[in-house]
Structure 1
């Protein structure tokens, strides 16, 4: 799962539909699937094609020439890479905020009550790779808490970390608050404490197509904000 780009087409839009291709951070999957559905309902001649993966991987593909219309990143650093590569048609707009969270499987088999417990021998910790936004945040939080531990597995997206925890393949994982909600009854959140950190999510039209600018505006508009809030994202 960690190495595979996730594609989703929301709705049909008819044989003569125009397709807008959206590259979005894995942590946005639930919110953007709902957003695409609502967008298509009010724009029946437009089909939304969603591609989810880690922001670093998506940014690299866009810079290399991938035919994306819209890019929504889980941090400003990867968006800045795309901007510097001359691959945005419009200036990015920050549309959401997310907090890092420590998640454990339901039942908390590792008996983890705080970040410092991750130093206990034998515990399996899953994090995102350093180049992925949630990975950079995880390392900053661990350093701030003076917790010295090497992760047992590094994933290319935050949803891959969540899956490891949900399946019981890891005793703990560092994900986003919205991923804890997505995990439902299969996971529990352990408070991080004063080291809590957040990331901002920017979106930008990559192509010059009118549909690209329109979908990006939908994300930042009132309907987009409502959907994001329903998935636990905060207003920046």
Structure 2
């Protein structure tokens, strides 16, 4: 082979290699974009001022969850408005400005299908009997609540915890005449804490927030009711993408760990 031919082939190889380098770089960039096209990172979620309507029983745990979410998503602020689920539903129907909703039952959420996105259950809960510290009235089970000398307070029937309470009492054929019917579970707990009632039916997680003021008497699983907490975005939200990101986050391991630590059960 002549030296001239060898030199020409070498030069052609150099030119070909030079042309292939930028093509490889382009392919690498495209591949990178393709790989990054999955779930959005925290930095991709739009910054927003979110308002979340949430059931009263989530008051303490959502304060921690909100702080964790804001830390993970700089620039986003989460404001919670807590009330009984039935009150929250009324606010949604009246057009209250908010971005997401979390209720303490699926029935309330199901009644808002035209107003909310697809709900996801993020946690579950159970009832306990809350009594004064030290259980001075020696209450051991649901049937004890029928005692005529006991002052028992329940949530109103329209409130999820009130509906669950009626369900478990009726199933055990226990006739309770409450001294008052409260608008949410925290109001029931407060009555027992202040000594205005001897006992009340509340969620386990609510009783756990006041261990130095009330005792929690467990109700056997066979006599109890399971409360489910669905979360959904509101269709009227002006921060739809950010609201959806928050609702989705509530099912992540980090959020679920916060809920478990507060005593909520797995969805």
Structure with bigger gyration radius: 2
TM-score (norm 2): 0.79
Aligned-pair Cα RMSD in Å? 1.2
Q: 1:145 aligns with which of 153, 162, 172?
A: 172
Higher helix share: 2
1:186 matched to 2:213: yes
Structure 1 segments, 4+ long, off by >4 Å, are none
Once residues 119 and 184 of structure 1 are traced to their aligned partners in structure 2, the CA distance between those partners, rounded to angstroms, is: 25
| Displacement after TM superposition at 1:44 (Å) | 1.8
Are 2:89 and 1:62 equivalent residues in the alignment? no
1:75 corresponding residue in structure 2: 105
> Could you list the per-position Cα deviations for residues 94-121 of structure 1 after superposition, in whole angstroms to 9, with x for gaps in the alignment?
1100001111010222221221111212
Which residue is 1:31 aligned to? 61
1:1-36 Cα shifts (integer Å, max 9, x gaps): xxxxxxxxxxxxxxxx73100000000111111010
SS in 2 for 1:45: coil
Please, which of 204, 210, 225 is the counterpart of residue 197 of structure 1?
A: 225
- Match 1:104 to one of 131, 142, 147: 131
Aligned to 1:12: none
Matched, 1:128 2:159: no
In the alignment, what sits opposite 2:266? 235
Normalising to structure 1: TM-score of the pair? 0.89
**1:122-152 superposed Cα distances (whole Å, 9 cap, x missing partner):** 2111111101110000001111111112211
Alignment of 1:148-187 (within 5 A): 148-187=175-214
Which runs of 5 or more residues in structure 1 are unaligned?
1-16
The more displaced of 67-76 and 214-223 is: 214-223
Gaps of 5+ in 2: 1-46
- What secondary structure, in the 3-state scheme, does the structure 2 residue paired with 1:178 have? helix
Structure 1 equivalent of residue 247 of structure 2: 216
In the alignment, which residue of structure 1 is the partner of 2:17?
A: none
Secondary structure, aligned partner of 2:219: coil
Correspondence for 1:40 among 70, 82, 88: 70
> 1:215-235 CA distances to partner (integer Å, 9 max, x unpaired)?
101111111101100100000
Distance 2:106 2:139 in 1: 31
* Corresponding residue number in structure 2 for 1:92: 119
The counterpart of 2:141, out of the listed 114, 128, 142, is: 114
Question: Per-residue displacement from partner, 1:161-209 (whole Å, max 9, x unpaired)?
Answer: 1111111111001000111111112111123233111111100011262
